[in-house]
């Protein structure tokens, strides 16, 4: 694929949605140009492609635009899925998508209000949102008591789409998280965060500027 026809990924290193997109691109090996952005100074090219101005955004080689992280994951894995992320040992793709939707709705709602209470005028007791978010984590713990990963013996779309948000929850209060009776969840998260693929996904890039040389992702 020539540089001219490369897809372009607009990303932000610490955004969990962008993390999950980068993880899928890494495992699939689908090459793109990565453009790290600064959220307080969004480039015009990003806003032209996606006026919503959030990341990740993938501008495909044919000019089509993917504005949702899960769509980017599925797009990449449907091209090449060497670790069978779309084919769980137990369950189905539909079941995985249902669990991911639960993460992205109820869990994310509570996570945001626990982690960033200052952003919400009606949040006076962040710990109540932590308790509500914990219900989802207990569900994951129950699943992980049955297998190493959420849907069997190998990691899948569900593991890698959900882990960045569990990481965000865990890092809000690491001491509290470590004290919870979630040994399987804690081991699962640690294994993913210490994996080579996650380390590569978290590579630091200089913020993109128009006219700079292409930065390839996955790294060449």
Q: What is the CATH number of the domain that holds 126?
A: 1.20.1050.10
Mean pLDDT rounded to a whole number for the chain: 96
Quickly list DSSP for 122-184: T-S-HHHHHHHHHHHHHHHHHHHTTSSBTTBSS--HHHHHHHHHHHHHHHHSHHHHHTSS-HH
Is residue 205 domain-resident? yes
Domain-located, residue 98: yes
Q: Which domain holds residue 79?
A: 8-83+199-217
For residues 130 and 113, give the distance between their C-alpha atoms in angstroms, rounded to a whole number: 8
- Nearest CA to 143 among 96, 191, 195? 96
Strands 8-11 and 57-59: antiparallel
Residues 110 and 149 in one domain: yes
Q: 177 and 114, same structural domain? A: yes
Q: Tell me the C-alpha to C-alpha distance, in Å, between residue 25 and each of 75, 98, 197.
A: 9, 22, 10
Give the CATH number of the domain where residue 53 resides.
Answer: 3.40.30.10
Q: CA 23 to CA 203: how far, in whole Å? A: 11
58 shares a domain with 29 = yes
User: For residue 15, is pLDDT > 90?
Assistant: yes
- pLDDT for the residue numbered 122: 86
> Using one digit for the tens of pLDDT, what is the confidence trace for 30-71?
999 999 999 999 999 999 999 999 999 999 999 999 999 999
Confidence of residue 2 (pLDDT cuts 50, 70, 90): very low
Q: What percent of the chain has pLDDT over 90?
A: 95
Looking at the structure, do residues 67 and 150 belong to the same domain, yes or no? no
Query: 122 and 144: one domain?
Result: yes
* Residue 1 within any structural domain of the chain: no
Same domain, 59 and 146: no
Claim to verify: residue 148 and residue 181 sit in the same structural domain:
yes
Residue 88 belongs to a domain: no
The pLDDT score that the predictor gives to residue 4 is 54
Total domain count, the chain: 2
Do 177 and 116 lie in one domain? The reply is yes
**Is residue 29 included in any domain, yes or no?**
yes
Alpha carbon distance 119, 113 (integer Å): 8
Query: Tens digits of per-residue pLDDT, 144-191?
Result: 999 999 999 999 999 999 999 999 999 999 999 999 999 999 999 999
Q: What is each CA distance from 108 to 111, 132, 200, in whole angstroms?
A: 5, 10, 25
Whether 183 and 133 map to the same domain: the answer is: yes
Q: Is residue 173 part of a domain?
A: yes
Residue 166 within any structural domain of the chain: yes
Q: Reduced to 3 states, what is the DSSP secondary structure of residue 10?
A: strand
By CB neighbour count within 10 A (0-12 exposed, 13-18 middle, 19+ buried), where does 173 fall? middle
Q: Given this model, what pLDDT does residue 14 score?
A: 96
Q: Kindly state whether residues 97 and 147 are assigned to the same domain.
A: yes
Q: Evaluate if residue 1 carries a pLDDT over 60.
A: no
In a domain, 141, yes or no: yes
Query: Do residues 121 and 177 both lie within one domain?
Result: yes
Q: Could you tell me if 138 and 148 lie in one domain?
A: yes
Residue 24, pLDDT score: 98
């Amino acid at each position: 694929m020539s540089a001219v026809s490369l897809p372009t990924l607009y990303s932000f290193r610490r955004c969990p949605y962008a993390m999950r997109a980068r993880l899928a691109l890494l495992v699939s090996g689908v090459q793109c140009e990565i453009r790290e952005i600064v959220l307080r100074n969004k480039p015009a090219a990003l806003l032209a492609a996606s006026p919503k101005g959030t990341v990740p955004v993938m501008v495909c080689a044919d000019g089509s635009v993917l504005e949702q992280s899960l769509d980017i994951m599925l797009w990449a894995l449907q091209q090449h899925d060497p670790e069978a992320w779309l084919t769980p040992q137990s369950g189905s793709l539909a079941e995985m998508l249902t669990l991911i939707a639960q993460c992205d709705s109820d869990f994310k709602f509570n996570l945001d209000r626990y982690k960033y209470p200052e952003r919400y005028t009606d949040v006076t007791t962040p710990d109540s949102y932590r308790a509500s978010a914990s219900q989802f984590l207990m569900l994951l713990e129950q699943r992980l008591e049955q297998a190493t990963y959420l849907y069997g013996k190998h990691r899948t779309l569900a593991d890698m789409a959900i882990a960045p948000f569990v990481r965000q929850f865990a890092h809000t209060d690491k001491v509290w998280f470590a004290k919870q009776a979630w040994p399987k969840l804690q081991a699962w998260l640690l294994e993913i965060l210490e994996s080579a693929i996650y380390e590569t996904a978290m590579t630091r890039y200089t913020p993109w500027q128009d006219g700079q040389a292409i930065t390839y992702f996955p790294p060449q």
